[in-house]
Amino acid sequence: AQSVSQHNHHVILSEAASLELGCNYSYGGTVNLFWYVQYPGQHLQLLLKYFSGDPLVKGIKGFEAEFIKSKFSFNLRKPSVQWSDTAEYFCAVSGGYNKLIFGAGTRLAVHP
């Protein structure tokens, strides 16, 4: 069965610090990978996605993620976080036709 593991449950950073959130998945076949963000009190929104091609994917709001097939990883990065990046971040992998498997999420708190 497919699964997604997010290593950090809570991350606290100061503004301008760099961010890297870990995501590992288990699946033997071709994968599609996603990062979603949930701002406080809001619904999930797509940050970025990887289907094929360039393993370095650029998303909205300065986020990027790198797919490393050999490590089964899809880590999310941002060079300099802002207070407005405070949110919960979910990694997800496609689990068969139309289905997504989500990780447990990482709560990011950015202090001014």
Partner 1 sequence: IAGITQAPTSQILAAGRRMTLRCTQDMRHNAMYWYRQDLGLGLRLIHYSNTAGTTGKGEVPDGYSVSRANTDDFPLTLASAVPSQTSVYFCASSVAGDNNEQFFGPGTRLTVL
Instruction: Give contact residues for partner 1 (rule: CB under 8 A).
Output: 4, 6, 9, 32, 34, 36, 42-46, 49, 51, 90, 94, 96-105
CB of 101 vs partner 1, minimal distance in Å:
8
CA-CA distances (angstroms) from residue 86 to 13, 29, 70, 89, 103?
9, 33, 31, 9, 18
CB of 52 vs partner 1, minimal distance in Å:
9
Pairwise CA distance, residues 81 & 24, whole Å: 22
The residue among 63, 69, 54, 60 whose CA lies nearest residue 24 is: 69
User: Are the C-beta atoms of residues 50 and 57 closer than 8 Å to each other?
Assistant: yes
CB of 14 vs partner 1, minimal distance in Å:
25
Cβ-based nearer residue to partner 1, 17 or 107: 107
Cβ-based nearer residue to partner 1, 68 or 104: 104
CB of 112 vs partner 1, minimal distance in Å:
26
Cβ-based nearer residue to partner 1, 12 or 104: 104
Pairwise CA distance, residues 104 & 98, whole Å: 20
